[in-house]
Structure 1
Amino acid sequence: MSQIIRLEIKKRIGYIIINKPKANGYDIHFMKLLAEKIEVAALNDEVKIIALKSALPRFFCAGADIKVFQKNTVVENKEMVNYANLVAKKLHEIPKITVALINGHALGGGLELALACDIRLASDADYQIGMSEINLGLMPGNGGTQRLIRLINLSRALEFLLKGNSITPDQAFDIGLVNQFYPESEFEALSTAYLENLASGSGSAMKAIKQAVNQGIELSLEEGLLLETKLADSLYDTEDAKEGLKAFIERRSPNFK
């Protein structure tokens, strides 16, 4: 069971790989394992970027296992949702950049996991992206409504949630739900190159930028500018800043620690 979720570290990237056939449908055990792996990657100084990906060919994550959800008591389901929210919160709040690699169906709570990440990369394979909870008489409960309205047009987000229809990866790219859209045949190579490029940046600067963006969106402009100034000031005397300035003068690429 421990191989349902595994962590692989390559070139400063912590790949959290989910492998629960047939569709990566989650239960509370799955979420506990995922929370543990995120925490391990977050505390590892070698890791700059955390990437969430699937080992299954057709599914990123289909959300909660409906059969388990139906058998559970209301109390058990609430506990599972609480853990799912904890995982989404970790992905959103940890100081490292989190990226979802979507190369298969991302549905319901599976899409909510992707939305909790800072960045989403998608392939043009034949799969669907959606939150159809309304068709079950439910609504997204792992941050789906709140994160979606912060990513795309408010009216379009509301329509997406109310209709419960899935969209294709290219449609998701068109509305800004995913950041990059790659051919399926090149998805692994291009997404890896993207992640390695991100990981070459300054970890301390990335941490500060993520904090400025995630906290600043909830503040007034004046408060956000004060936060930005405070965070920017904190970087001037860091080893990364010294290396970045030195590399610029020497006309070479910086080697951030």
Structure 2
Amino acid sequence: MSYETIRIERKDKGVVWVTIDNPPANALSENLMNDLEQLVDELSSDRNARVVVLASANEKIFVAGADLKGMIAGGSQFAGNESGISEQSGRMQKCFDRFATMPVPVIAAINGHALGGGCELAMACDFRIMAQGRGKIGLTEVSLGLIPGAGGTQRMTRLLGRAKATELIFFSKRLDAQEAFEVGLVNKVTTPESLEEETLDFAEELAEGAVRAMGLAKEAINAAEGSIEEGMNVEANAFAQTFKTGEPGVGLAAFFQRKKANFLPKK
């Protein structure tokens, strides 16, 4: 298959190294979403793929999250159409969830910032390995008057527990690699120079194991967490509701002006 925004390299032992390359910032654009959906279709049915690694061609950014300029430019098509907004949220949820349910281990090699949707994609992977000093990770949507809309409220709560997830989401906290490791958001911290090597070693160790059994164990682990579908539906609808509050207009405007958003009512 051909892709516009990703490159695939097949390594030894069935490791598939996927490099996301969507300049300038690896934003989750329409083209990248199309490629990710096609990728998960291809790899889910590929018996030679034993472990999948998601990495980035951008030296400073893993994945930047939603294409905010595209969101604003296309916002008029969703005016008064909450179902259209929730459908866009639902599309990202479903795509990321397919990585979470892929029947082989999936690893995120985080070389830089993984904020918003980038964090949500990373959390859909089974393991997260992050380079220290290159960037931060977190769900920052509330600072824009939005909420995580690609599964973030569900996955962070399942990973870290309600109390820590609430703190990180409400305050839009950005964690460096060591902070993320200490709370359990990432599994391993490396130097930037050794990220690829250590991730590949980690992937090959997994690939040498019983990956089919791992896939079945993954299915059982997901089932133990309760119904994520219901939570995803609630999140998508709540994401759509944020556009009725007026807060995204404040938050997004401040973001592009490089200012801190002030959501207090004007006197």
Interval containing the TM-score (normalised by the shorter chain)? 0.7 to 0.9
CA radius of gyration, larger in: 1
Alignment of 1:153 with 2:154, yes or no, is: no
| TM-superposed deviation, 1:127 | 0.8
- C-alpha distance in 2, partners of 1:16/1:201? 21
Q: Deviations over 1:94-118 (max 9, x none)?
A: 2111111111100101100001111
Alignment of 1:210 with 2:218, yes or no, is: yes
Higher relative contact order (CA 8 A, sep 6+): 2
Report SS of the residue matched to 2:108: strand
Report SS of the residue matched to 1:2: coil
Q: Which of 200, 205, 208 is residue 208 of structure 2 equivalent to?
A: 200
The 5 Å alignment of 1:218-229 reads 218=226
Report SS of the residue matched to 2:107: strand
TM-score, with length taken from structure 1: 0.81
Alignment of 1:136 with 2:144, yes or no, is: yes
Report SS of the residue matched to 1:151: helix
The 5 Å alignment of 1:64-103 reads 64-72=66-74, 73-74=77-78, 77-103=85-111
- C-alpha distance in 2, partners of 1:13/1:39? 17
Partner of 1:34: 36
Corresponding letter in the other structure for 2:33: M
Unaligned stretches of 5+ residues in structure 2: 228-267
Q: Which of 21, 44, 47 is residue 45 of structure 1 equivalent to?
A: 47
- C-alpha distance in 1, partners of 2:147/2:213? 37
Q: Deviations over 1:177-202 (max 9, x none)?
A: 00111122211111110101100111
- C-alpha distance in 1, partners of 2:216/2:106? 14
Report SS of the residue matched to 2:4: helix
Contact 2:61 2:111 in 1 (8 A): yes
Report SS of the residue matched to 2:226: coil
- C-alpha distance in 2, partners of 1:4/1:141? 22
Report SS of the residue matched to 2:27: coil
Alignment of 1:2 with 2:10, yes or no, is: no
TM-score, with length taken from structure 2: 0.78
- C-alpha distance in 1, partners of 2:30/2:60? 22
- C-alpha distance in 2, partners of 1:144/1:56? 23
Partner of 2:234: none
Unaligned stretches of 5+ residues in structure 1: 220-257
Q: Which of 158, 162, 170 is residue 170 of structure 2 equivalent to?
A: 162
Report SS of the residue matched to 1:198: helix
Identical counterparts, % of pairs: 32
Corresponding letter in the other structure for 2:199: S
Corresponding letter in the other structure for 1:4: T
Pairwise CA RMSD? 1.7
